[in-house]
């Protein structure tokens, strides 16, 4: 499908990078631009050179995939056609108001509204984001936070896609947006109970680390805001929230392996912060407030899979903590929710979500029943405290998502909403899913969840898309996707690999896939690929792989290690220049991730990271067909990582396979902001795989 146009060749300018006596030559280091260079009206010579290269790659991508454009449009319309355009969320009740998020036909963005006291009451539109977004290539509105008296709403806007939000306040009675403007924040904010004091987290303008908590008094200049807490340790970030009881403002400091919480009374925003338990390395904890106790999820006392403890409000340090739910070797304790009469626990056993309901008085203790082989279930935020009803979601790879209200007292349930799949073609009975257990090379068993159309024959000619993430302990659940149907209906099998680096099989599954164990993440993925081939599900000519961000690092590692296994790979916003990024503490997120990847200022970690860093391990050999995507304003993985990676791959690869770099010049890590614009990106990705399968006409 390629046309005979020469790929861009990036200029080589040797930059010598030296650490621990080891010299690396980076010929494409020049592609790195500062924010000032990107934002300057008059671009200097280097900036122009970078823009010219990125634009040349985009033009090459467009030329080479021109034959797919009509198909992409068809895919987009097909995927859009499954979505209920005039959709709305299940209303949730908080402080005498029902809150609703809804979409209108043709609208890219949501409308946030509320109704007082009853769903029959008149709708009050808080924000029509379609109007707010007019004139912006990218627009994100978030951080909605209503004051206790229901009169004001704080909100945050990002129009660049670097996750640097500007907080403002709107009067919900008059519609007036106040002059108060607080820039460079995380977007989140918390009202004190006086309805005029707002707490928020500010970001370091260079590293984008959330490092300071400020207090803003409505009607005063942001320049006069008072610093409440500054996180001096650059391996920690900081955030502010409020307990469900509304009694405390909470300031949390977090790193990969340690946490610390401080509180002050929400009724007295000028009070001093009180530390619950001073930070200790390898001591993690989260808090909630109920009655006269703090409840604490923690790994204290070697509780690798975490346990629940409690401590009196006036004696909060760890020597006062006592067990509520003890540690269990076979069950990973993920989260908990507190209600007046009930404690709700979210657990994971053998990879599957469990929701446990327990009365405080001990009269009931049971699990919600789920009967599919693999599924995803999770508890909503449930802001109301004095209720017997818990709201949760349920879906699987074959079952669309449902929002369910469950009465914890009489055990009745009401399905409040089932995801509608429009278009008239979807029937759950046409799809099958199962969970395979793949033997890893070291004897561990890796869960591999697969789904396909029931008519798809599993042979060496079957196309399989294998997906994974595998970092930060983040677990991708086995959920439903309307867009994925466009692949399944064309004979693809979708395989989700629950590799080490996630917490699918508990905390040890994560520990065994980070730091000096990171390569287990990559070999697990490869072992799943080999299993699919060996068991006759597919063959290298029809096996595809995809991952994004740290999952893009995964893609880079596996194609260096075993490129022959895959016909095509998509690496979305990939973290591929690991050693250089982790040595540069001016880059966003670097210092906070030393406990995920290791600190390469230490020679042992330097050598280990270098041994798998995709950019450093490129060799002269054949690589699969590849599509690499990035965003110019990405704050998580800077655009120059994938740009340099593609340039070096072009220089080294010995094959004639496709290699494309597509840079969104208007967006960042999350891609496009509108709900339909994001579908266009998915259509591009699917078209790439279907092009390689020769299915552009179907």
DSSP state string for 525-542 = HHHHHHHHHHTTS--TTT
Among candidate residues 216, 327, 498, 669, the one labeled active-site is 669
CA atoms within 13 A on the CB side of 76: 14
DSSP state string for 465-478 = EEE----TT-----
Q: Which of 303, 319, 299 minimizes the C-alpha distance to 311?
A: 319
Instruction: Give the E-state strand segments of 27-179 in sequence order.
Output: 92-94, 97-102, 111-116, 123-128, 140-146, 152-158, 165-171
User: Can 669 be counted among the known catalytic residues?
Assistant: yes
Cβ atoms < 10 Å from Cβ of 195 = 14
User: Can 634 be counted among the known catalytic residues?
Assistant: yes
Among candidate residues 529, 549, 580, 673, the one labeled active-site is 549
**Stretch (H or E) spanning 265:** strand 259-265
d(CA 425, CA 300): 51
Token pair, residue 308, equals 């629940």
What residues are paired with 83 via a beta bridge?
A: none
User: Can 673 be counted among the known catalytic residues?
Assistant: no
What is each CA distance from 666 to 59, 111, 282, 634, in whole angstroms? 16, 23, 40, 10
DSSP state string for 459-516 = STT--EEEE----TT--------TTTHHHHTTT-EEEEEE-BTB-TT-HHHHHTTSGG
Q: Which of 593, 602, 601 minimizes the C-alpha distance to 514?
A: 593
Among candidate residues 327, 634, 635, 673, the one labeled active-site is 634
d(CA 360, CA 88): 35
Tracing tokens 């998020």 back to the chain, one arrives at 101
3-class DSSP assignment, residue 112: strand
3-class DSSP assignment, residue 274: strand
Catalytically annotated residues: 549, 634, 669
């Amino acid at each position: 499908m390629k046309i005979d146009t020469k790929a861009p060749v990036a200029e080589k300018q040797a930059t010598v990078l030296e650490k621990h006596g080891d010299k690396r030559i980076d010929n494409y280091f020049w592609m790195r631009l500062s924010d000032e260079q990107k934002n300057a009206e008059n671009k200097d010579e280097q900036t122009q050179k970078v823009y010219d290269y990125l634009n040349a790659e985009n033009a090459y991508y467009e030329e080479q995939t021109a034959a797919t454009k009509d198909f992409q449009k068809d895919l987009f319309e097909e995927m859009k056609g499954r979505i209920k355009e005039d959709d709305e969320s299940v209303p949730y009740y908080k402080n005498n108001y029902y809150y609703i998020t809804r979409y209108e036909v043709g609208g890219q963005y949501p409308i946030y509204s509320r109704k007082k006291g009853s769903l029959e009451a008149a709708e009050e539109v808080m924000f029509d984001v379609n109007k707010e977004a007019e004139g912006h290539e990218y627009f994100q509105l978030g951080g909605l936070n209503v004051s206790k008296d229901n009169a004001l709403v704080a909100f945050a806007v990002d129009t660049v896609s670097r996750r640097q939000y500007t907080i403002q306040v709107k009067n919900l009675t008059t519609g007036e947006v106040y002059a108060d403007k607080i820039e460079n924040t995380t977007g989140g904010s918390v009202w004190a109970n006086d309805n005029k004091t707002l707490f928020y987290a500010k970001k370091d303008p260079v590293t984008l680390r959330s490092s300071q908590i400020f207090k803003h008094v409505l009607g005063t200049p942001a320049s006069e805001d008072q610093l409440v807490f500054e996180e001096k340790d650059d391996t920690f970030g900081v955030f502010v929230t409020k307990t469900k009881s509304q009694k405390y403002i909470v300031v949390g400091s977090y790193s990969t392996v340690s946490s610390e919480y401080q509180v002050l009374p929400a009724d007295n925003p000028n009070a001093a912060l009180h530390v619950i338990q001073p930070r200790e390395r390898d001591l993690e904890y989260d808090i909630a407030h109920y009655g006269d106790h703090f409840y604490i999820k923690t790994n204290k006392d070697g509780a690798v899979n975490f346990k629940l403890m409690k401590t009196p409000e006036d004696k909060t340090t760890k020597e006062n903590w006592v067990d509520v739910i003890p540690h269990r070797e076979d069950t990973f304790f993920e989260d908990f929710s507190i209600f007046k009469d009930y404690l709700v626990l979210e657990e994971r056993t053998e990879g599957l979500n469990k929701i446990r309901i327990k009365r405080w008085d001990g009269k009931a203790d049971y699990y919600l029943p789920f009967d599919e082989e693999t599924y995803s279930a999770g508890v909503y935020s449930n802001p109301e405290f004095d209720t017997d009803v818990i709201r949760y979601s349920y879906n699987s790879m074959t079952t669309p998502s449902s929002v369910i209200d469950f009465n914890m007292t009489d055990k009745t349930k009401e399905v409040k909403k089932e995801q509608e799949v429009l278009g008239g073609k979807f029937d759950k009975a046409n799809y099958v899913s199962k969970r395979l257990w793949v033997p890893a090379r070291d004897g561990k068993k890796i869960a591999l969840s697969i789904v396909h159309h029931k008519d798809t024959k599993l042979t060496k000619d079957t196309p399989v898309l294998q997906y994974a993430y595998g970092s930060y302990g983040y677990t991708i659940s086995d959920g439903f996707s309307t867009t994925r149907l466009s692949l399944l209906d064309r004979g693809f099998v979708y395989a989700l690999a629950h590799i080490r680096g996630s917490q699918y099989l508990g905390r040890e599954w994560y520990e065994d896939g980070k730091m000096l164990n990171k390569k287990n993440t990559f070999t697990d993925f490869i072992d799943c690929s080999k299993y699919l081939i060996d068991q006759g599900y597919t063959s290298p000519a029809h096996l595809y792989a995809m991952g994004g961000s740290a999952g893009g690092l995964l893609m880079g590692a596996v194609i260096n290690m075993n490129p022959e296994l895959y016909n095509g790979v998509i690496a979305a916003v990939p973290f591929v220049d690991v050693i250089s990024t982790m040595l540069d503490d001016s880059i966003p997120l670097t210092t906070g991730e030393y406990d995920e990847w290791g600190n390469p200022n230490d020679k042992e970690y330097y050598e280990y990271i270098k041994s798998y860093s995709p950019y450093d391990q490129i060799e002269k050999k054949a690589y699969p067909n590849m599509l690499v995507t990035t965003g110019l304003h990405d704050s998580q993985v800077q655009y120059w990582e994938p740009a340099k990676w593609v340039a070096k791959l072009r220089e080294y690869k010995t094959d004639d396979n496709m290699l494309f770099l597509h840079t969104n010049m208007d967006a960042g890590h999350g891609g496009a902001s509108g709900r339909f614009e994001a579908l266009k990106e998915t259509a591009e990705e699917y078209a790439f795989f279907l092009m390689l399968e020769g299915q552009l006409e179907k």
